[in-house]
Structure formats: structure tokens, C-alpha cells
Amino acid sequence: MRKVLGLVVSNRKLGNSELLVKEIMLNIPEDCQFELIRLPDMKIESCIACYKCLEYDNGCVKQDDFNFVMEKITQADALIIGVPVYLLGPQGCYKMLCDRLVAGFKYHPYTAGKPCIIVVPYGTRRWEGYTRAALLVMPHLLQMKIVDYWPVFATLPGESFINEANREYARNLGKRVFQSGPFVPGPWECPYCGSDLFRLLPGNKIECPMCGIAGDLQSGRQPNFAPDQECRLSEHQILEHFDGWVREMKTKFFEKKDQLKTVQKGYKEFDWWIKP
């Protein structure tokens, strides 16, 4: 039987994220086993930058719930994520999870090509900020097939389904979790990663700050990106960066350790740290 995991990234019980995720799951026609994780209930501490995850095969050395969450994500045949917009970005627990994926490529054999849907309730029109760009990173890091990124305007808990059209959309999404190909970004989004943010460069050039592809922007026209560019979120580039460059930096660190220690030493005595 297929397994479907719902990842709800909101503390609000029966809030919009939870309802949207559940409605999608309820409409999956295939025989499935369902599990839900409320991410803010998990103990996911911040990455301590030890890079030990690059060495070991058994995940992160930190004793918190990260390995449990990743085990559940890798065991699932489909992932439905519900994340609200908080302060122009995704709810912070999502970023905490994402930061722990320096060795995200180690999960590729289990996650690549599996369907992922991201549903994003937000409460104020045009206050989505950088949410879309930030949310797409994790499924790309895991090489999942992003079936849909669905922003839902809903401020109050449950408001998402006061609008019947939203319930209908959620039902249809549920029906096609295992049937659909990857979503196709719109004309004003990055054709490679789906981000809606661009960096302006001199000479009418633009760059996708997320996947790094380059293009140009002629006034009044849609952004134009040359085809066949390799984006940094491709499996090949991810391996090259995290399994290659980051590992090299680790070796370099040991080579330069004494020199670095000398630089750091000059700041050690200023121990002004405070705690509550």
C-alpha cells in the first residue's frame, strides 16, 4: 500500500494548512496509508555546522526529531506540505528543517521523482514576500516531483474552505497526486525552479537567485531564459556542490585550522554573551 505523509507547518490546530493538507489527502483515490506530522511539535534544532552528516550514512548526529522526520519523508510515496506565510516568508520551522539538509543528496535514492504538493495559506494579499522561492528549495534539494505549488488566500482559521472553489481545487489536487507530471512554471516564474523572484543585473540581464540560471529582461516583456542551462538545484549540481565543494571546504578547514585559530583568538576574550 502506498504511504502519504502530510507535513503541517503550523501550530494552529485545524488551521488552514491542516485543513488543506487533509482535504488533499482525503481525495487521493489510491489505497493509501496516511500519516501526519505537525512540524512545530517536532524538536528540530538549528544546524550546528559540524558537517558530520557528510561522513555518516545514518543521518544527522544531533539527538532530536530530524532523523525521524526525514525517515518518514523518505518512506512516503507522496508528500503533502502545508505551510503558512509568516512575516513575508515561510513559517520558520520549515526553514529549520531545510537548514538540516546539507547532506540532502543522501536522501535522493528514496525521494527523487516522488510527488510533492506544497499548499500555502496566506492572510494578506500581496504579502507573500519571498515565500514561494524559499518553499521550493526543499523539494528541489530532495529531487522530488513538484506536482503543484498552491497559494491560498485565507486569513482566519478554516477560512480557506469558506470559498468552495478552494475545496474543489484541493479535491482535484488529491485526485492527481499520483497521476500528474511536474507543475509547469508560469511565464513570470523561473522556468527551471519555479521561483518568482529575480535579481536584476546590468545590461538588462537577470538571474534566478534560487537556481542561478541567467536570462534577460527587455522592457515590457516577459523574462527570457536560454534553454538547456544547468540550474544549481539539478541533481548533478547539488552533488557537485554538497558532495564535492562542501567536502573540499572541510578538508581545507583542517589544512588551515591553525591559521584560522590565530585569527579567531583575537576575539576570544570579549565574552559579552548574555542569556535570560
List of residues contacting ligand FMN (CB under 6 A):
10, 12, 15-17, 84-88, 121-124, 127-128, 154-155, 157
**Judged by CB, which is closer to ligand FMN: 123, or 182?**
123
**Judged by CB, which is closer to ligand FMN: 48, or 87?**
87
Distance of closest approach, residue 126 Cβ to ligand FMN, in angstroms: 8
Residue 123's alpha-carbon distances to 26, 49, 87, 120, in angstroms, are 24, 34, 10, 10
Distance of closest approach, residue 125 Cβ to ligand FMN, in angstroms: 7
DSSP string, 170-223: HHHHHHHTTT-------TTS-TTT-----EEETTTEEE-TTT--EEE--TTS--
Distance of closest approach, residue 57 Cβ to ligand FMN, in angstroms: 35
DSSP state of 27: T
**Judged by CB, which is closer to ligand FMN: 156, or 260?**
156
Q: Report the residue closest to ligand FMN, judged by CB.
A: 15
CA 159, 161, 165 angle in degrees (round to 5)? 125
Q: 27 with 175: CB under 8 angstroms?
A: yes
**Judged by CB, which is closer to ligand FMN: 9, or 213?**
9
Distance of closest approach, residue 73 Cβ to ligand FMN, in angstroms: 20
Q: What is the CA radius of gyration of the chain?
A: 20
Calculate the CA dihedral of residues 39, 42, 48, 54 and round it to 10 degrees. -80
Report the 10 Å Cβ neighbour count for 201. Answer: 13
What spatial distance separates the first Cα and last Cα of the chain, rounded to whole Å?
50
**Judged by CB, which is closer to ligand FMN: 20, or 233?**
20
Distance of closest approach, residue 236 Cβ to ligand FMN, in angstroms: 35
CA 91, 188, 204 angle in degrees (round to 5)? 110
**Judged by CB, which is closer to ligand FMN: 105, or 122?**
122
Scored b (16 or more CB within 10 A) or e, 113-147 reads ebbbbbbbbbeeeeebbbbbbbbbbbbbbbbbbbb
To which residue does cell 518553499 refer?
135
Distance of closest approach, residue 131 Cβ to ligand FMN, in angstroms: 8
Distance of closest approach, residue 15 Cβ to ligand FMN, in angstroms: 3
**Judged by CB, which is closer to ligand FMN: 15, or 139?**
15
